[in-house]
């Protein structure tokens, strides 16, 4: 979406190929701030500030994929850089976070929010980060929120979405190739 709408897409690598290398400076006051979750061949994931490395540097480090969203929720088993600040993006929304407990042991945490006729108001970023820590996550980023927060499993949508659903131009899939 960002790429085709001529917005900075962040550092994007897919299957070892650089798709985009334009990002914001660290701590930019923009959402998403394009912080990076790098995925490595050995199943490790590591969160980085938006301009910590270039796409070429991620490839040199062995990254095969990068996701540019943010903010960082958890890094090295501790709250991310802004997750102790109760004013940082402090509003409730449907949220989606991806984290790693250990290589190949990932957690996807999705919350509902802003649903008509429901008491579900969504979650704060800080709440999301705290839950990821409680689950033993070592690295995690917020992926997106609002109308793009949709979770499918085995072809069935598991969460409810509220008003303002947006079309989704990409998705993250997990599977087992045998």
> What letter does residue 176 receive in the DSSP assignment?
-
| Model confidence pLDDT, tens digit, residues 112-127 | 876 665 567 788 999 9
Distance, in Å, from the CA atom of 102 to the CA atom of 109, rounded to the nearest integer, reads: 16
Q: Residue 65: is its pLDDT beyond 80?
A: yes
CA 146 – CA 42 distance, rounded (Å): 32
Token pair for 69: 């969203």
pLDDT in the model for residue 116: 60
Cα–Cα distance measured from residue 70 to residue 98, given in angstroms and rounded to the nearest whole number = 10
Percent of the chain with pLDDT strictly greater than 90: 55
Q: Looking at the predicted structure, is the pLDDT value of residue 94 above 80?
A: yes
pTM of the predicted model as reported, rounded to 2 decimal places: 0.87
> 51-55, 107-111, 167-171 — which is least confidently predicted?
167-171
DSSP string, 105-168: EEEEEEE--S-TTSS---B-HHHHHHHHHHTT-SEEEEEEEGGG---EETTEE-S---SS----
Q: Is the pLDDT of residue 76 over 90?
A: yes
3-state DSSP call for residue 27?
A: coil
Q: Stretch 83-89: mean pLDDT, rounded?
A: 89
76: closest CA among 149, 140, 12? 140
Mean pLDDT, residues 2-12: 83
Give the Cβ contact number of residue 61 at 10 Å. Answer: 12
* Residue pLDDT, tens place only, 23-46: 999 888 888 899 999 999 999 999
Under 8 Å CB-to-CB from 117, ≥6 apart: which residues?
none
């Amino acid at each position: 979406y960002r790429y085709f709408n001529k917005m900075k897409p962040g550092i994007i690598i897919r299957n070892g190929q650089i798709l985009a290398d334009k990002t914001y400076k660290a701590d930019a006051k923009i959402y998403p701030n394009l912080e990076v979750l790098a995925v490595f061949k050995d199943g490790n994931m590591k969160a980085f500030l938006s301009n910590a490395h270039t796409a070429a540097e991620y490839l040199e480090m062995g990254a095969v994929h990068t996701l540019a969203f943010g903010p960082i929720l958890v890094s090295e088993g501790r709250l991310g850089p802004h997750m102790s600040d109760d004013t940082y993006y402090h509003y409730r929304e449907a949220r989606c976070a991806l984290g790693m407990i250990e290589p190949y042991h990932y957690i996807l945490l999705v919350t509902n929010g802003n649903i008509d006729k429901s008491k579900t108001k969504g979650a704060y970023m800080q709440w999301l980060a705290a839950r990821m820590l409680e689950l033993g996550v070592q690295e995690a980023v917020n992926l997106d929120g609002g109308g793009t927060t949709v979770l499918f499993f085995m072809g069935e949508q598991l969460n409810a979405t509220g008003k303002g659903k947006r079309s989704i131009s990409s998705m993250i899939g997990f599977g087992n190739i045998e």
